[in-house]
Amino acid sequence: MRKFFYPLLLVLVWLTPAAPAQAAGGWECDEFSGPNCGEAINDVFMVAPGEAWAVGDFGTIMHRLNGEWVRVDSPTTGNLNRIKMVTTQGKTVGWAVGDDGAIIHFEGAK
């Protein structure tokens, strides 16, 4: 019986899937999150530590600075899919692209 039991036990242990590894820390909803812990955000671009821009559906544009998200007026109501921003010589310049060939441009003081 032992000659049969131990090899069978080894095979069962080998075939049993391992539990997924758990990462230290965890995700939390940010203060800007909607009722389901999220707006329809399609892209986020970090300009610097503590500063980010985000774009999403229905022309959503958001800017995070000093730990606070602020919605920025948008010239479109179409979906925005990608954003790139640069800050140089005290100015912030960026472009976002979206559905139906939309390309919008931002230029402002830092």
For the chain, 110 residues long, the average pLDDT of each consecutive 10-residue run is 52 50 60 58 91 92 89 92 91 93 88
Instruction: Classify the phi-psi angles of 77: left when phi > 0, otherwise alpha if psi is within -120 to 50, otherwise beta.
Output: alpha
pLDDT at residue 56, as a whole number: 92
pLDDT at residue 28, as a whole number: 63
Maximum Cα interatomic distance, the chain, rounded to a whole number of Å: 80
